[in-house]
């Protein structure tokens, strides 16, 4: 094998790997995406900070709880959402009335 043939084969292998990697990323990008009340989310679209910034700009009056539900059942998804929303509701109660919060914490001990 001479150097030109080896160089061409190397370029061909690198090109095929690049095309495969690019195709895989494009497929993943379009495979899992959703638009929820104007908030567009997909696999690799946003970092956590960018998603939060986008959500605040889209619905500045709302508060967001992000949950990844890919691959879980509807029942488990609802349970996870209820759990995460419970954290936010508990925090709201604590901000308004700390003594109520302390009562719950005493009950948990």
DSSP tag of 72:
S
> How many Cβ atoms from other residues are within 10 Å of residue 41's Cβ?
15
Domain boundaries along the sequence of the chain: 1-31, 33-64, 65-109
> What is the per-residue pLDDT for 29?
66
> What is the per-residue pLDDT for 25?
79
Q: Is the pLDDT of residue 20 over 90?
A: yes
Q: Note the pLDDT tens digit of each residue in 26-51.
A: 776 666 666 655 556 665 555 556 66
Question: How far apart are alpha carbons 42 and 56 in whole angstroms?
Answer: 17
pLDDT confidence bin for 17, thresholds 50/70/90: very high
Q: Is the pLDDT of residue 11 over 80?
A: yes
């Amino acid at each position: 094998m001479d150097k030109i043939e080896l160089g061409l084969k190397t370029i061909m292998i690198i090109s095929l790997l690049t095309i495969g990697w690019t195709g895989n990323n494009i497929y993943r990008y379009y495979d899992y995406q959703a638009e929820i009340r104007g908030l567009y989310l997909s696999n690799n679209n946003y970092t956590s900070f960018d998603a939060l910034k986008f959500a605040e700009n889209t619905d500045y009056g709302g508060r967001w709880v992000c949950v990844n539900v890919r691959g879980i059942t509807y029942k488990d998804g609802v349970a996870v959402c209820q759990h995460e929303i419970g954290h936010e509701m508990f925090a709201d109660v604590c901000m308004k009335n700390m003594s109520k919060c302390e009562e719950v914490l005493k009950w948990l001990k």
